[in-house]
């Protein structure tokens, strides 16, 4: 397997772990890998407790990389998430509140999934965008 293919496979596994994590929280996953001309959403779920739609951005990093998952989302990516989120909300006619969360997955590329570390950061826009 090429290094690029290996990285894609690890990213897919990280998304699978993140989806399992949000389901364990009691959230209902509505969509995975939603794509439109304005961007892509890794996971879209409903947080039943908060009664909010949640766009979950998944970031995978291996140990030793310079940038933590949470630090890897710049203004351009955040704007794309907000814009794609708005498209999704309009597509399903969601009328309630919604937010964007981050699930960062950090692991050794050789570590079994049970040793991967997940970090959940709620509302990464911090109210900066009118969502």
**Residue 58 maps to a domain:** yes
Are β-strands 117-121 and 98-107 bridged in parallel, bridged antiparallel, or unpaired? Answer: antiparallel
Q: What is the mean pLDDT of residues 103-123?
A: 80
Domain that holds residue 30: 1-66+95-114
Q: For residue 43, is it within any domain?
A: yes
Quote the pTM value: 0.87
Q: Higher model confidence: residue 31 or residue 128?
A: 31
Q: How far apart are CA 121 and CA 100, in angstroms?
A: 9
Give pLDDT tens digits for 62-101. 765 556 666 778 889 999 999 999 999 999 999 999 999 9
Q: How many domains does the chain have?
A: 1
Whether pLDDT at 131 is above 50: no
Q: Are 26 and 49 in contact (CB under 8 A)?
A: yes
Q: Does 127 score more than 90 pLDDT?
A: no
The secondary structure of 67-84, three-state, reads CCHHHHCCHHHHHHHHHH
CATH number for the domain spanning 23: value is 3.40.1350.10
What is the maximum span of the chain, computed from C-alpha positions, in angstroms? Answer: 45
Residue 31 domain-assigned (yes or no)? yes
CA atoms within 13 A on the CB side of 106: 15
Burial annotation 20-54 (CB, 10 A radius, 16+ → b, else e): ebbeeeebebeebebeeeebebbbbbbbeeeebbb
Task: Say which DSSP state 27 is in.
Answer: P
Q: CA-CA-CA-CA torsion for 16, 21, 23, 27, nearest 10 degrees?
A: -120
The rounded distance, in Å, linking the Cα atoms of 10 and 16 is 10
């Amino acid at each position: 397997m090429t290094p690029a293919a290996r990285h894609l496979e690890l990213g897919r596994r990280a998304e699978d772990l993140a989806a399992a994590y949000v389901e364990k929280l009691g959230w209902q996953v509505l969509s995975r890998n939603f794509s439109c001309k304005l961007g892509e959403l890794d996971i879209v779920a409903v947080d039943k407790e908060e009664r909010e739609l949640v766009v979950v951005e998944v970031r995978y990093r291996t140990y030793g990389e310079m940038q933590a998952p949470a630090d890897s989302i710049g203004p351009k990516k955040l704007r794309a998430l907000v814009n794609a989120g708005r498209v999704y909300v309009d597509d399903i006619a969601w009328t309630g509140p919604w937010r964007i969360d981050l699930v960062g997955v950090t692991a050794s590329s050789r570590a079994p999934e049970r040793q991967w570390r997940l970090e959940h950061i709620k509302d990464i826009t911090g109210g900066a965008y009118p969502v």
